[in-house]
Amino acid sequence: MALSDAFAKKQQGQPKAWPLLGPLLDEAVVGYDPGVGKAVFSFYRLADRDRSAELAAASLSFYRLAATAAGLLNKSIPDDVVTITYHFSSFVTYVAEALDNAAEWLACVYEMIFPRGSNPNLASRDFANRFALLDSGTSQTFNDVRPWAEEVYARRRQVHYGNVQTWYIEDGQAVVAELVVRPVEKQQFGAQKHRRVESKEMRLLTESYLNKINELLVSVFAAGAERLSVPRDQQEEIDWD
């Protein structure tokens, strides 16, 4: 088989990235803005499917699921404890998963190397510091958002373990309970320093979280967009038979 034929065969069999992301632009969900990824859409419309495309799609998918869960929460009856608990736990989990995949996406695009057992984490000071020499604006954005990311991850642990009260009814409204947040670095070294996040009406909290994740994803995708256009050194496995 000629080299040109082998290469063409390889390219034809390569799945494309856009079928992963394209459908996420179609369905309208209140609180979900698919435009957060517009900085990278032009690239993925033409690119092959790879790890970065899968992570970008995952982050957007969890963001949309969080918006869906928030809508269901707003329709729930305060007396329906099981339904509210389910949708609130889902909402917090989806927001945290969107953050996880966004951090993984950016690390993948920049080909970052982390110590064994360590993952990209938007709540980590180290993650923001890695961008200090690349893009000071992005680094500052990650530093600014870190306390909120710590709060999200603390809430995920809270709803997963279920050993404390996560919400309650007050004056006929669902209210999210007070939360103790320990910085990621402090957790790693066993320190006890922490801060408290005051209780907040659930509807206001979900709205705030959706606004925050929207702003963060815009920053994340913008930070990685230029890097995506840089060609990678890859060795194609060509079928010569």
Question: What's the pTM?
Answer: 0.86
CA distance 145 to 20: 28
DSSP secondary structure code for residue 76 in this structure: S
Reported as a single tens digit per residue, the pLDDT across 203-213 is 999 999 999 99
| Residue 14: predicted pLDDT | 80
Q: What is the pLDDT of residues 85-133, one digit of tens each?
A: 999 999 999 999 999 999 999 999 999 888 887 888 888 888 888 877 7
Q: State the DSSP H helix or E strand holding residue 91, giving kind and residue range, or none if neither.
A: helix 81-109
Using pLDDT thresholds of 50, 70 and 90, give the confidence band for residue 182. confident
Across the chain, where does the E strand assignment appear? Answer: 167-170, 173-176, 179-181, 195-197, 200-201
* pLDDT of res. 163: 66
- Concatenated DSSP letters for 9-51? HHHHTSPBSHHHHGGGGTS--TT--GGGGHHHHHHHTTSBP-H
Per-residue tokens: 218: 């815009």
